[in-house]
Structure 1
Amino acid sequence: MSVPVLTTGKLAMPALGLGTWPLRGRDCEAAVESALGLGYRHIDTAEMYGNEEAVGAAIAASGIARGEIFLTTKIWYDKPDGASFRAAFAASLERLRQPHVDLLLVHWPSPALNLPSVLTALAHLHAEGLARAVGVSNFPGALLRQALALDIAPIACLQVEQHAMLGQQALLDITQPAGIVMTSYTPLGKGEVLEHPVLTGIAARHGATPAQVALAWLLSKKLVAAVPKAASAARQAENLAAAKLRLSEADLAAIAALPKNRRFVNPAFAPAWDSPDA
């Protein structure tokens, strides 16, 4: 299965990857091994997931050349300055058994975030080749604009919750003109999106599944990737097949017309989102 590669001046990322939260231990290792065997070449993990060791073990066992795999990890929000961020990333590399990652992200903005300090750490890690590309996750529009205006680190990606019920157009209005890839996590809306009659109707017309429709809608957008979590080979294969599904303009319009203010991931430490669609 061939997955499109999103290519900018800062990275080349397969548009469809495997999310690994909340898989752990042998379950995570087996899921990553399965996904790589099916043809996935983009794996998303994080320090906080507690599964970097399993991801690293699966990559090592796969026999696939490291240069063919796009590996993302993220550093948790309790590392709000450059020194703690850098130390945490060194530990991540050790757990992953990797000399570098392809994308390193700030997982969440902390209320104590020293943005210039963390961006400087990202810039240095990028310059040293330890992180081939760098970016941020869960940044609202105002903070993303601030990070871009500082122009310290070459921000290549913004990872946020995005799905058919949370379109994130306000953020796309920032990322797309800047040539920044948006990676969608929770792209199936915790499964709720899959039960919507608009998506089930489109799926029936295409002989596809609602999950494939939801993912194809995201992948139809400029510079948008998605990292759905799937533990079983069957679900992984189902999601992977979304890369070849082409929705009609009427399909895309029908999904775009759905309300776009349903947020599933909004922990107590989340930043103040700029608007219902931010």
Structure 2
Amino acid sequence: MASGTQVHATAVVDPAARLGQDVIVGPLCVVGPDVELGDGVELKSHVAVAGHTSIGAGTVVFPFASLGHAPQDLKYHGEPSRLEIGARNRIREHVTMNPGTEGGGMLTRVGDDGLYMVGVHIAHDCMVGNRVIMANNVTLAGHVVVEDNVVIGGLSAFHQFVRIGAGAMIGGMSAVESDVVPFALVKGDRAFLDGLNYVGLQRRGVEKAQIHELREIYRQVFEGEGTLKERLAAAAGKVQSGTPAGQIIEFMLARESRAFCQPRR
């Protein structure tokens, strides 16, 4: 074992597993042979880590989490897919994260500095960004993309292949069936667009001029005249790439075949 690493006498750690420095494996944890735990990872107790799974430095995993076990997908046939979890995450009790599948790129990835509260489920082939917060019992179906700085309220569920843009906020108990543009505020049992996440924008220090431009583009795209395609094309000529308003346009143009959450009429 590396320097400073501690493994409780009741834990079962396969000799082939790779443990970094100052790792703590608590009571009754089980760590499989293809697992890699980065420096300073802590498994509190009763944590099961299996499959080709890596956990980044400083991540803490609380009791009864299940990471890297076979995905809940009947098309999965034991292929050596991966689960990659980034650094400094807090993974609370009963969280489940599954690896990828052959049909989805063989990889599920979770970024850095996230908080995943009790009972969160991240299914196969999902891509989750940095600084994401998922409250209790949030459920992602397969192939969902969640970009950076997203906040998701408890008991919300996401249809497979949905994308959630950077900086969006999802209200609790929402059922999200369509893509959510960046910086949006979305809620509802059949989720609808309810404006922009101004609080999140202000907390991240976005300039007032950019917020104003974002508000104007939002109104043009989602509240203007004509079809969505026509409104989107008109708005695309008014924004610069990389600005918050530009991120919305780029997000929507990247996969035009998808439906988007829109305001309730």
Verify same fold: TM over 0.5.
no
Q: Greater CA radius of gyration, 1 or 2?
A: 2
Of structures 1 and 2, the one with the larger relative CO (CA 8 A, separation 6+) is 1
- TM-score band by shorter chain is under 0.3
- TM-score normalized by structure 1? 0.25
Q: Counting helix residues as a fraction of each chain, which structure ranks higher?
A: 1
- TM-score normalized by structure 2? 0.26
